[in-house]
Structure 1
Amino acid sequence: MTSPTGTAAAPGAPIPPGAAAVTVTGADGPGPRVAAGPWLLGVRHHGPGSARAVLAALAAARPAAVLIEGPPEADALLPLAADPHMRPPVALLAHAVDDPGRASFWPMAAFSPEWVAIRWALDHGVPVRFIDLPAAHSLAFDEPAPGVGSEEPAGGRDGEEATPVVDPIRVLAETAGHDDPERWWEDVVEHRPPTGTTPAGGPPRATVDVADGDGAGDERDRGDALAPFDALAEAMSALREAYGDGGHPRDAVREAYMRIRLRTARKEFGDDVAVVCGAWHVPALAGRTTLAADRALLKGLPKVKAGLTWVPWTHRRLARHSGYGAGVDSPGWYGHLFDAADRPIERWMTKVAGLLRGEDRPVSTAHVIEAVRLAETLAALRGRPLAGLGEATDAVRAVMCEGSDVPLALVRDRLIVGETLGEVPDTAPAVPLQRDLTRSQRTLRLRPEASERALDLDLRKETDAARSRLLHRLRLLDVGWGEPAEGRGSTGTFRESWRLSWEPELHVRVAEAGVWGTTVLTAATAKAEAGAVAATALADATALAERCLLAGLPDALPVVMRALADRAALDADVGHLADALPALARSLRYGDVRSTDTAALAEVAAGLAERICVGLPPACTGLDADGAEALRRQVEAVHGAIGLLLAGASPAEGLRERWDAVLRKLAARDTVAGIIRGRATRLLLDEGRLPEDEAARLMGLALSPGTPPADAAAWIEGFVGGASGGGLLLVHDERLLGLVDAWLTGVPAEMFTDVLPLLRRTFSAYEPGVRRTLGELVRRGTVPGGARRDDAGKAPRGFGPGLDRARADAVDPVLSLLIGRRPEHEEAAG
């Protein structure tokens, strides 16, 4: 609930002419009471000082009804505010039934004046109603109106010149001679002491006892409880006279509707009505207009069918820097001010000390005392009546953080902004999909939390597998509660890692996804089927098949597989086929983990592999540098995918031999780009399909004097480039290193600058230790032809022509000891 400026307006409300103080006896005992209302209580949304003033004013005035700025369709939801399971911060969510993505929020914290007024009315049995423009109209506008969850742009529409937007607090602060409107507001309202004073340059403060918030002070306090709202009313009226609507013409429509609702309430309850609204609207509500004029402003407004409910909110979303202009830079601090009955600075420093101690920082009681003294001293030097957040933060930085902003950032995140997530009772209205999601969250013990947390899953466990399916289904529905993350060193397919963070906007995403079904399973299935029909690219269909397996959608998989088979049959681009195969191979592996039938998927994958084997060699010729690099990555991906297919339960017959033949063709053809030839040679060597001597021969040919240096450098990058063990290969096989060294020293000086970028890219990916070892080996020197001999004149070291089983068996006892396994010969003997 924002003011017309995005930052809420200052409190202030005129008492209607003729109002008089009379003594009455009510629920709170005898005391002065302002008669002849209505009482217009202008507030700053989410202001703890305004909230306390409202609480005191309601206790003193004891109105017969309370009216609050908000959508009137939510009147039926107001009793839920008294539910013991309702815990702020919460928000009213309104969305268009036919277009759930068109939504608005009215957030409320425990220190919001509106929330305080609602709870007071419910606790005292007083009728409470919302009086703002209905959500049915505000949602129908092209842009959400201010005060309904987002701010209207300052600029005009359709090329109109932008109208300046007025910030009432800034104008009042500058008028009072202050350059910091937030600090001025804190001094005037949020830090108002129990006994009134008049701060320099500011409006008069009322003598009001609001420390306990119940208005049960002495008679003088009761008589002055409404004075704060009168103190700034004249200033706000002057602002409206000077600036009109302040750059928000739609406010005239909202205020017309508020006046109509106020007239209706006065007919029902008389003048004993209290109105809690942004102070910017108070002059408009106090002005005299006719019912006909107000109705004329409302004539012809667009309208949609709206659904409303309560949803949890977070302190982080109340902060300006998180994207919602609610006018609260520090909701955690404001919540502390509202909750702290006395000594707010001392209690705040104690909180900060507890937080820092929990992070193993040495903070003692002496630090707390010194920080309090410093904050109070800074307030005195700066001419502030009480220490505010600025003084408290400066004191924490100097005393508890030793001048460092690193631990101070933690204080800002955890305390000044805060991580509080509200709760809403189950009885609150919700779309069926949201109810099913809530049930699943409880069954699987996945509690939504505002702060980000890591979740590691073992898919061999039934509960973790169900959690994985739920998170994948929500991602398919564009409900981004969880995002996949890198695991903790495990490469097994039975493990998954997630980062979970629940944001209030996800309730809108759930409402949008509700058009697909009433449960998470049926909605995800329906959306997957629709996506399969709409998929035009083969890669889209394969990615969707993978997501269906991850999400456990057996009913959607046949539809997706038919679409996949159709796209694969029509797509003749080898690059598209190469992009699609890895996802299918991963899906087959996931199917094994999740016990899913993947026979149809395996058949499509085998067909794609066959077509790639046929079409890849011709596609690797005539490429420029960028095209060659892209195809090199595709060759690597296909190689890994075929490895997964061969590791499956029923691999395609002869697939290994056909793929090896493709790699041999790529490695031997001069017309293939050097980076691809080098990578094909390396893949064959790593798989044991190419003898080491043959690999050395191919390298010698690629680095021969007749090969252009740029082509030779590209071959080297393909063979030993990246962080895939190429450096260690050169370290252990000095024959290959000698060939590279001999070629490099023979590159003409005029060509060296052309090949240097490729070489830097190749060798910069190696670990520092590998680069150092290679440098030491090169320092020994070479002999003609690239052969390398050590100081004793022995032959160069390299890999033998085959496996030396005797040397390998010698390692077995040590390896068995390291992994805790008995050697094979001991197991056979005993």
Structure 2
Amino acid sequence: MTEEDGAGGGRPAGPLLLGVRHHGPGSARAVRAALEEARPGVVLIEGPPEADPLIPLAAEEGMRPPVALLAHAVDEPGRSAFWPLAGFSPEWVAIRWALEHGVPARFIDLPAAHTLAWGKDGGADGPGPDPDTAPVPGDAPGAAEQPGPGDAAPDAELRVDPLGALADAAGYDDPERWWEDVVEHRGAGKGDALAPFTALEEAMTALRETCGNGGHDRDLVREAHMRLRIRAAQREFEDGVAVVCGAWHVPALRRRATVAADRAVLKGLPKVRTDMTWVPWTNRRLSRASGYGAGIDSPGWYGHLFDAPDRPVERWMTRVAGLLRDEDRIVSPAHVIEAVRLAGTLAALRGRPLPGLGETTDAVRAVMCEGSDVPLALVHDRLVVGDVLGEVPATAPAVPLQRDLARIQRRLRLKPEAAERELELDLRRETDAGRSRLLHRLRLLGVAWGEPAASRGSTGTFRETWRLRWEPELSVRVAEAGVWGTTVLAAATARAEADAVAAQGLAEVTGLAERCLLAGLPDALPAVMRVLADRAALDTDVGHLAQALPALVRSLRYGDVRGTDAAALAEVAAGLAERVFVGLPPACAGLDADAAEEMRRHLDAVHGAVGLLGDTPAPGHGNLRARWQSVLRTLSARDAVPGVVRGRSVRLLLDDGRLAQDEAARLMGLVLSPGTPPADAAAWIEGFVGGGSGGGMLLVHDERLLGLVDAWLTGVPAEAFTDVLPLLRRTFSAYEAGVRRTLGELVRRGPGARGGTAAAGFGVPGFAPDLDAARADAVLPVVRLLLGPDGDDGEAHGAGPATQGPRPRRHHDTGDDRGRSA
């Protein structure tokens, strides 16, 4: 790897060039052995020189790889780049060796100031983004860049994959398998620490003589800068210079070039002011599937090879067995022994020096997973890739917003984790309420650490469920959000106010008001409310008003649980509802099918909103529920209103108890009469019993309605049946499988004569004109056993002593939460 003097075999005259594969455990072990043998006076590493002051942090107790160097433009934090390092990365090993032996370590790659500015002004015609973001496993990049809007997409097809080319020349169809065979499974013996680097340099030299720069145009600039830094280090240090860089660069660094020529290459490069720090990284972001071009397919496996050089296959199988046992699969020591034997046999059959990931995976599938890929997918996700999240010491540089976020995370005991997990919050608890506010504030700032999920077992407003996963890119989002303020609260408040002014529609503003209440931003709410009142006064589109009302009304529920004052919303919401009541009937006339379906969704949303708003009266607006029911009656009776809207209006009145079942049946009978066009009748049915509104169960339990639908459907003319079939299919396909099966059984049995005309009823067990009190009372003892007694009702209904017990404690949340047994 070195240029020796004329005597041959003397001390190297040039730098010690150690060409590596980034994130390669074999390269990392070889680098450590070479540095121990050479004992250089300085270690130069491929990376941004601005990070030199951060190198000492790698020795601190709180530093746990995988980590990454993060560079971002000071004036544009979203423009950023990462330099990830794992515990088995050769660069990390070189840094730790230098710190342990008191040897200076420096980065020599192109400065991040140029890397971030490279595509900023060039646009599509400029140099383009860093070519190292393309999949080049033989020379994994120095940086994984987050390109800016002016960056051109790299053409990966025109670039050379060094490992792929060498593997193909060696007769391998898989570069990863070739690398494992020639490097990872062949340890360097005593006295030949430089032999792997010599062989790899010879191969890369031949490859570059054939392919030139392999389509990596920026490499010429990077290599010129590296040569200048190497020369400067050689002048400064007399004990020798060791360079740890991608093997692809070694031939270019070995090539003689004048200082003037290298400086000419670097002249005129654009640059931006940058900040750098260490940030946690994850194994998943080291994988190539994450979009990081220098990644590896199996960071967990490579980490295992680095940490367990002794008997790696046996140790790996033991870890797999432990994981599967934790998932309640039966795996015994005999399985481990047999899997190790099978992996060794497969390696021998395939001509490999040791079992690799392919052999161990095949053995695990056959022996421990019984041929199934389902548990094998778990092994791949948890062990082959892994959920490791690195740690960075608190002394690392950070923007003020990041420091405030870290302080809040510690106070709320909400630690970032790489693995996805669900977090159940009870907002009546102070800590959980603080966690909820933090997650909502971060979402306002564009830091999507948590995503809301459906709560299991409760629909109360005092419960929230979040799905959390910390991704390394969120560090960039936090730095980017730092322009709004130095604390999470101040930044979220400023961002909410700015978003309210910039909102395009009324629904956006109402949604923002809801998010301000969820996030606990009392200072932002007045500004949002002013914008909301102005937009609501000027917007005349009933669809916009109907779309905006639900979010506004939902916000009124949060006052009791979250301790926020939502009174200012009641007046605006009531006024908005009044305008919807006035404008909705004329807006529903003359709509086509798509517009009618959209209006039906607005109708459902407004109905739910009025149901909540009726419990929060606003002065001067009277009984909103009664006003809304009058609007529904108007819509149900107008022939100009589309059938889907009329049918839904009837259904909403029926559900609220404002329309008798006999009247609903009469209205359905009129619509399904022969004088109504089949398409209009089908649309009415869709509005009445369609969607997820429980219409299927309504037909199951009301024989008159089912009889009317059946009689109408069997009487649809053949020429019109094809036209109404899509509407009917959309209506009934939304029902659950059990409901569809029950309806089919009822129709198969056919109509009976009891209860009136044959078309009006189905004579099947379970249907009767009136409630069967005896059958209903039969379930009361079981209900009391489940829910507990209430006063003396148990004795009144003949419940035995077994049903007696203490009166249960109950608590209430808000109007939409029923009492629950404590």
The normalised TM-score by structure 1 is 0.89
Distance 1:500 1:19, change over 3 A: farther
Partner of 1:138: 115
Counterpart of 2:698 (choices 723, 726, 729) is 729
State the shift of 1:438 in Å.
0.6
Partner of 2:761: 788
Preserved CA contact (<8 Å) 2:651 2:688: yes
Partner Cα distance (1:401, 1:523) in 2: 50
Partner of 1:241: 209
Partner Cα distance (1:422, 1:579) in 2: 44
Distance 1:817 1:382, change over 3 A: closer
Partner of 1:38: 15
Counterpart of 2:726 (choices 752, 757, 764) is 757
Partner of 2:631: 662
Deviation string 1:591-630 (CA, Å, 9 cap, x unpaired) is 3321211122111100110000000001111111111111
Partner of 2:46: 69
Amino acid at match of 1:79: P
- Verify: 1:188 aligned to 2:156, yes or no: no
Counterpart of 2:169 (choices 153, 157, 175) is 175
Deviation string 1:104-142 (CA, Å, 9 cap, x unpaired) is 111011110000000000000001111111101111010
SS state at 2:158 partner:
coil
Partner Cα distance (2:763, 2:371) in 1: 58
Partner of 1:566: 534
Preserved CA contact (<8 Å) 2:647 2:686: yes
Partner of 1:673: 642
State the shift of 1:791 in Å.
8.4
Preserved CA contact (<8 Å) 2:82 2:145: no
Deviation string 1:82-101 (CA, Å, 9 cap, x unpaired) is 00110101000011111111
SS state at 1:321 partner:
helix
State the shift of 1:376 in Å.
1.2
- Verify: 1:416 aligned to 2:393, yes or no: no
Partner of 2:680: 711
Deviation string 1:38-77 (CA, Å, 9 cap, x unpaired) is 2111111011111111000000000111110101110000
The aligned length equals 774
Partner of 1:93: 70
Distance 1:265 1:227, change over 3 A: same
Deviation string 1:716-754 (CA, Å, 9 cap, x unpaired) is 111112232222222322222222222223222322222
State the shift of 1:398 in Å.
1.2
- Verify: 1:511 aligned to 2:479, yes or no: yes
Amino acid at match of 2:178: W
- Verify: 1:720 aligned to 2:693, yes or no: no
State the shift of 1:354 in Å.
1.0
More off after superposition, 381-390 vs 578-587: 381-390
Partner of 2:325: 357
Distance 1:334 1:160, change over 3 A: closer
Partner Cα distance (2:570, 2:773) in 1: 37
Partner of 2:249: 281
Partner Cα distance (2:155, 2:471) in 1: 36
State the shift of 1:672 in Å.
0.9
Partner of 1:165: 159
Amino acid at match of 1:245: N
Structure number with higher relative contact order (C-alpha < 8 Å, ≥ 6 residues apart):
1
Runs (5+) with no aligned partner, structure 1:
1-12, 23-33, 194-207, 210-220
SS state at 2:483 partner:
helix
Preserved CA contact (<8 Å) 1:397 1:405: yes
Counterpart of 1:52 (choices 22, 25, 29) is 29
SS state at 1:693 partner:
helix
Tell me which stretches of 4 or more aligned residues in structure 1 moved more than 6 Å.
156-163, 804-814, 826-830
Deviation string 1:378-435 (CA, Å, 9 cap, x unpaired) is 1111111111111111111111111111111111111111111110000000011111
Partner Cα distance (1:735, 1:159) in 2: 64
Deviation string 1:696-731 (CA, Å, 9 cap, x unpaired) is 221121111211111111111111122322222223
- Verify: 1:391 aligned to 2:368, yes or no: no
Partner of 1:199: none
Distance 1:255 1:791, change over 3 A: closer
Partner Cα distance (2:364, 2:560) in 1: 55
SS state at 2:790 partner:
coil
Preserved CA contact (<8 Å) 2:746 2:764: no
Amino acid at match of 1:637: A
Partner Cα distance (2:76, 2:717) in 1: 68
Q: Percent identity?
A: 74
Deviation string 1:652-695 (CA, Å, 9 cap, x unpaired) is 42211110100000111111111111110110011011122221
Distance 1:161 1:731, change over 3 A: closer
Deviation string 1:443-463 (CA, Å, 9 cap, x unpaired) is 101110001000000011110
Partner Cα distance (2:795, 2:494) in 1: 56
State the shift of 1:823 in Å.
4.6
State the shift of 1:644 in Å.
0.7
Preserved CA contact (<8 Å) 1:816 1:823: no
State the shift of 1:158 in Å.
8.4
Preserved CA contact (<8 Å) 1:15 1:40: no
Preserved CA contact (<8 Å) 2:543 2:599: yes
Distance 1:110 1:158, change over 3 A: closer
Partner Cα distance (1:812, 1:227) in 2: 84
Partner Cα distance (1:625, 1:16) in 2: 84
Preserved CA contact (<8 Å) 1:458 1:465: yes
Partner Cα distance (1:159, 1:461) in 2: 49
Runs (5+) with no aligned partner, structure 2:
120-127, 133-140, 798-806, 808-822
Distance 1:388 1:18, change over 3 A: farther
Partner of 1:647: 615
State the shift of 1:290 in Å.
1.3
Amino acid at match of 2:174: D
- Verify: 1:587 aligned to 2:565, yes or no: no
Distance 1:364 1:817, change over 3 A: closer
The normalised TM-score by structure 2 is 0.90
State the shift of 1:234 in Å.
2.0
Preserved CA contact (<8 Å) 1:733 1:797: no
Deviation string 1:775-799 (CA, Å, 9 cap, x unpaired) is 444324255573337489x9x8446
- Verify: 1:531 aligned to 2:499, yes or no: yes
Partner of 2:815: none
- Verify: 1:380 aligned to 2:348, yes or no: yes
Partner of 2:812: none
SS state at 2:106 partner:
strand
State the shift of 1:163 in Å.
7.8
Distance 1:413 1:15, change over 3 A: farther
Preserved CA contact (<8 Å) 1:104 1:148: no
More off after superposition, 142-151 vs 665-674: 142-151
Partner of 1:367: 335
Preserved CA contact (<8 Å) 2:2 2:13: no
SS state at 2:81 partner:
strand
Preserved CA contact (<8 Å) 2:129 2:154: no
Partner of 1:6: none
Partner of 1:554: 522
Deviation string 1:767-821 (CA, Å, 9 cap, x unpaired) is 33333333444324255573337489x9x84468xxx999999987764454102
Partner of 1:228: 196
Partner Cα distance (2:744, 2:255) in 1: 86
SS state at 1:311 partner:
strand
- Verify: 1:621 aligned to 2:589, yes or no: yes
Deviation string 1:189-212 (CA, Å, 9 cap, x unpaired) is 11113xxxxxxxxxxxxxx34xxx
Counterpart of 1:772 (choices 732, 741, 748) is 741
Counterpart of 1:598 (choices 566, 575, 593) is 566
SS state at 1:117 partner:
helix
Partner Cα distance (2:734, 2:81) in 1: 49
Amino acid at match of 1:669: R
Amino acid at match of 2:417: E
5 Å matches for 1:477-488? 477-488=445-456
Partner of 1:455: 423
State the shift of 1:175 in Å.
2.3
Partner Cα distance (2:436, 2:146) in 1: 40
Partner of 1:687: 656
Amino acid at match of 1:40: L
